[in-house]
Amino acid sequence: MEANWLNERHIGLTHFPFTGAFEVTVPTKIVSKCDIKEKGIIVAYKDVPSVFRTFKIGPMGSTS
């Protein structure tokens, strides 16, 4: 099985083992390089709030 980004919100899987596409929501932190340089990675990571991103996972080539 191989996963590839099809666009900003869709991930396609080869040999898709599921009966239909589904969504996954994951917590994400975006830490700037500038903050890492100034504060160190641990403090910079702790200072950034989590945001939640939702992705749709489906068969390769499908973005619907």
Provide mean pLDDT across the span 15-35. Answer: 96
pLDDT number for residue 59: 95
pTM, two decimal places: 0.69
pLDDT number for residue 62: 75
Quote the distance between the C-alpha of residue 20 and its chain's center.
Answer: 19
Q: Spell out the residues 6+ positions from residue 8 whose beta carbon is closer than 8 angstroms to its own.
A: none
Give the pLDDT band (50/70/90) at residue 63: confident
pLDDT number for residue 23: 97
